[in-house]
Amino acid sequence: MMEQFVEIKAANPDCLLFYRMGDFYELFFEDAEIASRALGIVLTKRGKHQGHDIPMCGVPVHAADDYLQKLIGLGHRVAVCEQIEDPAEAKKRGSKSVVKRDVIRLVTPGTITEDRLLAPSESNFLMALGRVKGGAENSYALAWIELSTGVFRVAETNAEALAADIFRVDPRELIVAEPVFHDEELKPLFDMIGRVASPQPPSLFDSASAPGRIARFYGVATPDSFGTFSRAELSAISGIVAYVEKTQKAERPPLSRPEREQAGSTLFIDPATRANLELLRTMSGGRDGSLIKAVDRTVTGAGARLLADRLMSPLTDPKAINARLDSVAFFASETRLCGALRACLKEAADMPRALTRLALNRGGPRDLGALRSGFEAALALRTLFADAELPAELKGALDAISALPVRFADHLGSALADELPLLRRDGGFVRAGYNAELDEMRALRDEARKVIAAMERELIDETGIRSLKIRHNNVLGYYIEVTANHQALMMGSDAAKARFIHRQTMANAMRFTTTELAEMETKIANAADRALAIELGVFDALTTEAVGHADAIRAGATALAVLDVSAALAVLASAEAWRRPVVDDSLAFEISGGRHPVVEQALRRTAGAPFVANDCDLSPEQGDRHGATWLLTGPNMGGKSTFLRQNALIAILAQTGSFVPAKSARIGVVDRLFSRVGASDDLARGRSTFMVEMVETAAILNQAGERALVILDEIGRGTATFDGLSIAWAAVEYLHEKNCCRAIFATHFHEMTALAGKLERLHNVTMRVKEWEGDVVFLHEVAKGAADRSYGVQVARLAGLPAAVVERARAVLHQLEAGETSGKADRLVDDLPLFSAVVKREEPKPAKPDTLGAALSTINPDELTPREALEALYRLKEMAGK
């Protein structure tokens, strides 16, 4: 057995081997040590290898999914090795013969299909990177699939956009040819991606043999009908198809044909911007606090995945964007229809994932039930929308729903029982009356005594022997018993002898059987096995039929997801008072009463406070060919970062096809979005906070064009004051003169406000504050003008710094602002006394007698006349003045 294990393990060296032994998957040697630590299970030992104990641990087969989830989450890959031979067959070769085993599947992060291992609202993409060398530059392409739903897309890219395109898809696993993975130029990219990237043999990505591999996978003569692909795209498609064949072994998932994404069809958002804006996850990695959490009102898993996909890939075509907005507007106006739609969709299960599990032979009766419920919801929707005038996107969705295979839907309805078991081996999922033989076998299995009693009555009527009995024992099985007095009736004629076969003679009874009784006995004995076999045959037939309709089912499921997203965005717009944006080809960016979609909901939920809305207008002024730049100043905690992010998020939402949190919005399509908000270091790559800031700023200044939207916060704050001011100054000039893009630049360098007099499209705006008795009140309002201070000391006091530190800081700030030290540290030390000299411990003062309180205590307002009350008030005022 260990020889067999070592042989199979050698063929899968990069995987933990789940080796099936009875009811357990066992792991041995180093695999056992790794799994024991990762899963927290006991490490034991069994037998010896080369004189050493063999480490061993195992997990129950019925609970394997839970353990797989943990291992996959930690970045491991697992090879599942099953027994592929009946143990009885192995024994025929000898009593000590080992049952044949082989790996039936490789489980990797990007190839999971089990419902328990997948989040219903999140996609699980597997991506392949293809590269073709040629000329001065390499050609790159990306292909990605969602194995559980069959989605298959491909797109060309370049070295500049490679990281952004990978993070846009957000794959769980990225496969790369080994030479590409070890390319020094791409090392920073793979370091950033981390363990998601996996090197594979270069033969998988061979573009020359790619057409043949693709044709074999899809069972076609040539892939030319799929479209014309570049060599890099063929390399990526070949890599992902070969990897699917490698991991799924003999099974073939029902992948759709590769669909190409046109370059520039989606909004370019670089990885740093995606992280800063927290589209799907917060900076800490959680979903709470992200944009998707704030806007998701979908009622189906497929709808939630489609919404996330749209948020990660906003469109750049105004026509396509407005088609989506038309759908949302339709449901926003048709609230009754919207509610009825959502009620129908709640009953629909996840059809694409169920279909894939069935195709991969991992499905069960409930997956067929998921298809049935999806069909039922789709048919109900056709009736619901029968008389509605629909916009183009919704009409296309309804056409796809109408193309669903109705006959197959009827077949599922008639074949499947109402209550379905989890596993097909449990049986009981075929509806009574669907298959006559199955009904008979079930009757025999469940009601054998009734069947025998019915046969007994028939024999009594036939023979006229009222004492005839059909009995059973372990020796004869079922038999007919009559008293000896009736021997002549049972054996008196040739016909009777032929009909009743003598089995045994007793002292006062005789026992017989018949051909019918013998056959019935065999049927009863085999009824349970036969009933299950019939059900499994029905299951296989329905699965084959479902896979045959895979394209139509996928299209219909996508249509349901489109309806879900459109209705969900309409519900969101109504609940949050969002408005439809105007999206066109201009360079406009005019937001009236804009709000941050996440912060507004958080404020309402935690503090019950309203969000302060603000306008933003970066549109070109009359006669200008380029958008404006806003230089935003104001205090810390004043709301600058929130204002910056909310405008970027409004642009994303608008181009996603959603209404936006604003009173009104007009947005000329943004083709590239850059956001640099916040600070963090990258110690693993040897980068300080300031270095990370400069790298990200450089990427923005080198890539932003006139249609870009740039959001920059606190550039230059990570270094010395004059160095930082110089960098920020030059960056603003470059944005204005060279990039010519719409931009908001937040800074604490108040000296930069002078640039407004030099740069014609630069405007000074500030976050308003109010000072009250030495405290600062943040109004969170954006207004024209410039701030003259940052109120850092006041913010420090609000943060809870010791009073002594705050007072010392005030003294230092006062001297610096007076200009007496000219920024020289040695003069500052001489001019300001030591900390201990400035900050003295205040002795507690003796309490004064509370004369005012004593006087008030003697007054009874109920007993005073108006004149006496007025006189008492004057006396109290006089006492307060003293």
The whole-chain average pLDDT of the chain stands at: 87
- CB proximity list for 184: less than 8 A, separation 6 or greater: none
Q: Mind listing the pLDDT tens digit for each residue in 535-574?
A: 999 999 999 999 999 999 999 999 999 999 999 999 999 9
Of the candidates 759, 741, 655, the residue with the CA atom closest to the CA atom of residue 703 = 741
Buried residues in 424-452 as b, exposed as e (16+ CB within 10 A)? beebebbeeebbeebbbbbbbbeebeebb
Rounded Cα distance, 344 and 329, in Å: 20
Highest mean pLDDT among 113-117, 327-331, 625-629, 752-756: 327-331
Q: Mind listing the pLDDT tens digit for each residue in 854-877?
A: 777 778 887 788 888 888 888 877
- CB proximity list for 646: less than 8 A, separation 6 or greater: 594, 595, 596, 597, 599, 614, 661
What is the pairing mode between strands 125-132 and 101-107? unpaired
Asked whether the beta carbons of 278 and 646 are under 8 A apart, the reply is no
pLDDT class of 842 with cuts at 50, 70, 90: very low
User: What tokens were used for 381?
Assistant: 């929707």
The answer on whether 464 is annotated among ligand-binding residues is: no
Pick the CATH number of 115-263 from 2.30.40.10, 3.40.50.300, 3.30.420.110, 3.40.50.1370: 3.30.420.110
**Strands of 452-578, DSSP E:** 469-473, 477-483, 501-505, 509-513
Rounded Cα distance, 784 and 617, in Å: 11
What is the pairing mode between strands 664-668 and 589-594? antiparallel
Asked whether the beta carbons of 130 and 233 are under 8 A apart, the reply is yes
- Is the per-residue pLDDT at 825 higher than 60? no
> Which of 108-122, 165-179, 313-327, 349-363 bottoms out in mean pLDDT, i.e. has the lowest?
108-122
pLDDT at 299: 96
- CB proximity list for 490: less than 8 A, separation 6 or greater: 463, 482, 496, 500, 510, 512
Q: Mind listing the pLDDT tens digit for each residue in 210-233?
A: 999 999 999 888 888 888 899 999
Asked whether the beta carbons of 51 and 44 are under 8 A apart, the reply is no
Distance of CA 654 to the CA centre of its chain: 21
Asked whether the beta carbons of 106 and 247 are under 8 A apart, the reply is yes
Laid out side by side, the sheet with 709-713 consists of 268-269, 672-676, 709-713, 742-746, 629-633, 762-772, 775-784
**Rg over CA atoms, the chain:** 38
3-state helix, strand, coil in the chain (%, to 5): 50, 20, 30
The answer on whether 634 is annotated among ligand-binding residues is: yes
Rounded Cα distance, 419 and 207, in Å: 49
| DSSP three-state, residue 830 | helix
pLDDT at 135: 60
Asked whether the beta carbons of 477 and 512 are under 8 A apart, the reply is no
Stated as kind and residue range, the H or E segment containing 543 is helix 515-548
pLDDT at 52: 84
Asked whether the beta carbons of 179 and 202 are under 8 A apart, the reply is yes
The answer on whether 641 is annotated among ligand-binding residues is: yes
Q: Which amino acid is at 681?
A: D
| Residue bearing the bigger pLDDT, 654 or 607 | 654
Stretch 133-150: mean pLDDT: 86
Buried residues in 624-654 as b, exposed as e (16+ CB within 10 A)? eebbbbbbbbbbbbbbbbbbbbbbbbbbbbb
Q: What are phi and psi of 114, to 5 degrees?
A: -65, 135
Rounded Cα distance, 435 and 429, in Å: 12
Q: Percentage of residues in the chain with pLDDT exceeding 70?
A: 93
- CB proximity list for 247: less than 8 A, separation 6 or greater: 105, 106, 107, 108, 111
The answer on whether 640 is annotated among ligand-binding residues is: yes
pTM value is 0.82
Query: Which CATH number is 296-405+549-575 given?
Result: 1.10.1420.10
Asked whether the beta carbons of 479 and 471 are under 8 A apart, the reply is yes
- Is the per-residue pLDDT at 833 higher than 70? no
Of the candidates 143, 318, 326, the residue with the CA atom closest to the CA atom of residue 231 = 143
Query: Which CATH number is 2-107 given?
Result: 3.40.1170.10
The answer on whether 802 is annotated among ligand-binding residues is: no
Of the candidates 706, 668, 670, 708, the residue with the CA atom closest to the CA atom of residue 584 = 668
pLDDT class of 828 with cuts at 50, 70, 90: very low
Give the largest Cα separation in the chain, rounded. 138
Query: Which residues are 771's β-sheet partners?
Result: 776
DSSP state of 868: H
User: What tokens were used for 766?
Assistant: 């500030």
Which residue has 């070592």 as its token pair?
6
Asked whether the beta carbons of 591 and 358 are under 8 A apart, the reply is no
Rounded Cα distance, 5 and 20, in Å: 10
Rounded Cα distance, 401 and 398, in Å: 5
pLDDT at 136: 58
Domains 296-405+549-575 and 436-527 share a fold: yes
pLDDT class of 823 with cuts at 50, 70, 90: very low
CATH 1.10.357.10 matches 436-527: no
| DSSP three-state, residue 746 | strand
pLDDT at 780: 87
User: What tokens were used for 755?
Assistant: 């640039």
Q: Residues 274, 279, 284, 289: what is their CA dihedral angle, to the nearest 10 degrees?
A: 150
Q: Percentage of residues in the chain with pLDDT exceeding 90?
A: 51
Highest mean pLDDT among 689-693, 711-715, 830-834: 711-715
Domain residue limits, the chain: 2-107, 115-263, 296-405+549-575, 436-527, 578-795, 801-838, 851-881
- CB proximity list for 475: less than 8 A, separation 6 or greater: none
Q: Mind listing the pLDDT tens digit for each residue in 637-680?
A: 778 889 999 999 999 999 999 999 999 999 999 999 998 876 55
| DSSP three-state, residue 462 | helix
Buried residues in 709-747 as b, exposed as e (16+ CB within 10 A)? bbbbbbbbbbbeeeebbebbbebbbebbeebbbbbbbbb
Stretch 707-719: mean pLDDT: 84
Query: Which residues are 769's β-sheet partners?
Result: 778
Laid out side by side, the sheet with 78-83 consists of 44-49, 52-60, 24-28, 16-21, 78-83, 101-107
pLDDT at 358: 94
Q: Mind listing the pLDDT tens digit for each residue in 226-253?
A: 888 999 999 999 999 999 999 998 888 9
Report, at the CATH architecture level, how domain 578-795 is classified.
Answer: 3-Layer(aba) Sandwich (3.40)
Distance of CA 187 to the CA centre of its chain: 27
Rounded Cα distance, 441 and 530, in Å: 7
Other beta carbons within 10 angstroms of residue 510's beta carbon come to 21
Q: Which amino acid is at 458?
A: E
CA terminus-to-terminus distance, the chain: 101
Give DSSP secondary structure letters for 248-307.
HTT----PPPPEEPPTTSB-EE-HHHHHHHTSSS-TTS-STTSHHHHH---SSHHHHHHH
